[in-house]
C-alpha cells in the first residue's frame, strides 16, 4: 500500500534516528487508519531510510530535509487496480541562507 512521511530541518548527524522515529510514528498512525503494516511495506521504508543515510553527504550542510514515499504491494507483485511498487526519496540541504 502507499505510504509517505517526512522530517524537516533536522541536524544532519541525526537524520537516520529522526527518520526512524518518524517511521515508527507514521506506522502507528497507518495501522490506526485500518491498514496492515506488512513486512514488504516496512522493508521499503527501512531501505529508503538507509539510502537517505548514505546520500546525506551528497547535499552537504548541517541541517537537512527528507521526504520518503512509496507503494508496496503484497510480495512486491503487480496487482489489479493498484500502482506497481515504487520508492521515492528527496533529501535537501536545510541550512539557512547566508547573507
Domain assignment present for 98 = no
Count structural domains, the chain.
Answer: 1
Domain assignment present for 17 = yes
Tell me: the pLDDT tens digits for 17-61? 999 999 999 999 999 999 999 999 999 999 999 999 999 999 999
Q: Are 75 and 42 in contact (CB under 8 A)?
A: no
Beta strands in 12-96 (DSSP E): 63-71, 86-93
pLDDT of residue 44: 96
Domain assignment present for 81 = yes
CA–chain centroid gap for 61, Å, is 20
The pTM (predicted TM-score) of the whole model is: 0.91
Domain assignment present for 99 = no
What three-state secondary structure class fits 80? Answer: coil
Beta bridge partners, 92, equal 65
Q: Are 90 and 67 in contact (CB under 8 A)?
A: yes
Tell me: the pLDDT tens digits for 84-95? 899 999 999 999
Identify the domain containing residue 81 by its residue range. Answer: 2-93
Tell me: the pLDDT tens digits for 8-19? 999 999 999 999
What three-state secondary structure class fits 33? Answer: coil
**Between vectors from CA 70 to CA 69 and to CA 71, what angle results, nearest 5°?**
150
Distance (Å, whole) CA 62 – CA 47 = 23
Amino acid at each position: 500500500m502507499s505510504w509517505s512521511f517526512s522530517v524537516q530541518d533536522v541536524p544532519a548527524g541525526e537524520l537516520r534516528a529522526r527518520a526512524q522515529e518518524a517511521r515508527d510514528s507514521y506506522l502507528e498512525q497507518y495501522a490506526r487508519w485500518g491498514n496492515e503494516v506488512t513486512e514488504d511495506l516496512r522493508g521499503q521504508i527501512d531501505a529508503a531510510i538507509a539510502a537517505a543515510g548514505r546520500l546525506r553527504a551528497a547535499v552537504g550542510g548541517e541541517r537537512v530535509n527528507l521526504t520518503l514515499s512509496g507503494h508496496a504491494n503484497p510480495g512486491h507483485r503487480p496487482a489489479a487496480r493498484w500502482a506497481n511498487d515504487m520508492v521515492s526519496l528527496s533529501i535537501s540541504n536545510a541550512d539557512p541562507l547566508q547573507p
